[in-house]
A = this chain, B = another copy of it.
Amino acid sequence: MRQSFDEHTKPSFGREHAPLIRQAMAAQGLDGFVIPHEDEHQNEYLPAANDRLAWATGFSGSAGAAVLFKDKAAVFVDGRYTLQVRDQVDPEVYEIRDLVDGGVPAYLQSEAKAGWKIGYDPRLVSPDALERLKTAAAQAGAAMQPVQGNPLDEAWGAERPPQPQAPVVPQPLDYTGEDSAAKRERIGKSLAAEGADAALITAPTGVAWLFNIRGGDVIRTPLPIAQAILDADGKAQLFLDPAKVTAELPAWLGNKVRLEPPSALGGALAELKGKRVLVDPALSSAWYFEALERAGATVVKGADPTVLSRACKNPVEIEGARRAHARDGAALARFLAWVKTEAARTLPDELEVVRRLEAEREATGALKDLSFDTIAGAGANGAIVHYHPSRRMARRLELGSLLLVDSGGQYLDGTTDVTRTLAIGYPTSEMRDRFTRVLKGNLALARVRFPAGTTGSSLDALARLSLWSAGLDFDHGTGHGVGSYLGVHEGPQRISKVPNTVALRPGMIVSNEPGYYKEGGYGIRIENLQVVTEPAPIPGGEREMLGFETLTLSPIDRDLVDPALLSPEEIDQLDAYHARVLEMIGPQVDPETRAWLETACAPLSRAA
């Protein structure tokens, strides 16, 4: 078992830990302290040792922040976590606020008092975020003050888990499709073209991609915690805990990469005096900027040069993604057949559902890790976006309800992420109406053709139109980027209402996951991963158009589809998808599963 159902936090954390942090704050003369979710590496998933927000508040979500003043405190979460936070955080210790609407800056501006000193850890805050905090504090007459020692870390003390030291291994060319030396030369040239002498790569994902290495320091993602300096000539220094360096690593990295311990980073930055150094203000904390400025280097603020290259998968990576999805789809088919036949009779609880799915993925023999903790939301739990089953919260399946399962696997050849919503027994007509509207959105976003330069912001509404027209919507983004045996959430592309200037480019993998959530009732989400295809002509047209190839291969529950709501074009599209699922997955599964799959993939048009 990889997934645990124990809760690592308790609502009492706030009451227990906030006083300890306030004590350490007071010792440093601070009137307030800002606690972001992000750690030193600006990762989404954190080593337990760095999940400061969870320890301070009890809130265990993947995004958020807290502010502790000497006399009051608040925790900030986004729309995904509004239900979870109420369950995990003691509202008498932390007022619950919206992370996006105003967020921390608005709280500082309205609640800080003139003359207050508000601490922040410069290793945890990006310079852009810091700028906003400073402006907000100044409007209240308060001042932001960098701390030397993090008062939360001091309060945490001996209870704090140790830093991870997972071995770092090569990721072979069969999976990456491009040699690290070639990547470094290509990225190095782009640095030179922009007038930079070097780039500081601080995001573990960027380091993993650039050097074709993988690690295990961060849960659910094969990331090595490491930093690098890449010179414009393709040479590099890689800062990595010696305890994590495996025997094969030095030869794999070659003689143009100097391995250094993390303690050498400060000295290496100091040696960049007089150089023009590119640093990404969205991915690197304020500490790096300050260190470079102290060293006398010229900081060039710009996007991490590995980000766009990493996002646009090469043919080898795309082929790997197809293989990973075919393998994952077979495991999922066995699981879905079990849910729709056996589980619909025995009505197990969510934990059993999660265990069964994990066992099917394990049985592929290729699973390196889950790509995130499986969400199995039965009935009302399905309406809690980003819910994870726990012993305390888990519900049993019930007839006449829905089961939402969002899951994924990390394989050497690709990362998967798929959501299916299943009717247990007979669904209501409302459930079928809502499900079909979500499906219409998913289909629209799968079939769209669009010109070069189009961003995910321009396409987001396609996934919502059929819900909007019925007075419905969902409160999360429609799609996120996905890595190649890397992060299951990776930028810079996304499909969202939020303005985004990054155009979708061939090779980018994005999720397509509209949903609908009825609080206290049920949740619906349909999620496929899809890869952006090369621009191609359309007969009779004038401009080549990009499009999507759906990678995920798993049947959509026909019990939840109301064909009367679909156009003939949509029915054809769904039937063609199901035919492809059967063709790709059928040969991989046992006869019993295959028989189920044939029914599950039967054309709707035959029924209509």
Contacts and interface: CB of A to CB of B under 8 A. Distances in A.
Interface stretch (A179-187, A443-451, A582-590): A443-451
Given A458-B461, A472-B542, 19 more contacts: A448-B469, A449-B468, A450-B468, A451-B468, A451-B473, A454-B461, A455-B499, A457-B499, A458-B460, A459-B461, A461-B461, A469-B538, A471-B537, A471-B540, A471-B541, A471-B544, A471-B545, A499-B500, A499-B501
Contacts of A460: 458
Contacts of A462: 461, 465
A274 interface: no
Contacts of A465: 448, 462
A543 interface: yes
Given A195-B139, A457-B458, A469 B497 contact: no
A501 B468 CA distance: 20
Interface in A471-491: 471-473
Number of copies of this kind of chain in the complex: 2
A501 B543 CA distance: 29
A542 B437 CA distance: 14
A516 to B, nearest CB: 10
A470 interface: yes
A453 interface: yes
A27 B454 CA distance: 47
A537 B451 CA distance: 35
A410 to B, nearest CB: 33
23 contacts: A448-B465, A448-B468, A448-B469, A449-B468, A449-B469, A453-B497, A454-B461, A455-B499, A457-B458, A457-B499, A458-B458, A458-B461, A459-B461, A461-B462, A462-B465, A468-B545, A469-B538, A471-B538, A471-B539, A471-B543, A471-B545, A472-B542, A473-B543
Interface of A: 139, 195, 448-451, 453-455, 457-462, 465, 468-473, 497, 499-501, 537-545, 567
Contacts of A468: 448-451, 545
Contact of A499 (B449, B450, B499, B540): B499
A438 B450 CA distance: 16
A458 B544 CA distance: 23
A545 B473 CA distance: 10
Most buried by B among A195, A455, A473, A537: A473
Contact of A541 (B195, B472, B543): B472
Nearest to A516: B542
Contacts of A470: 538, 540-541
A179 B465 CA distance: 39
Given A451-B468, A543-B472, A458 B497 contact: yes
A113 to B, nearest CB: 16
A141 to B, nearest CB: 11
A447 B501 CA distance: 27
Contacts of A458: 457-458, 460-461, 497
Q: Which 8 A-B pairs have the closest CB atoms?
A: A471-B541, A471-B538, A499-B499, A458-B461, A449-B468, A451-B473, A470-B541, A471-B543
A448 to B, nearest CB: 7
Contacts of A545: 468, 471
A464 to B, nearest CB: 8
A378 B139 CA distance: 58
Nearest to A451: B473
Contact of A454 (B451, B455, B497, B500): B497
A537 B539 CA distance: 42
Contacts of A542: 471-472
Contacts of A501: 499
A428 to B, nearest CB: 13
A544 B499 CA distance: 23
Contacts of A469: 448-449, 538
Contacts of A500: 499
A471 B454 CA distance: 14
A499 B453 CA distance: 12
A543 B457 CA distance: 22
Nearest to A450: B468
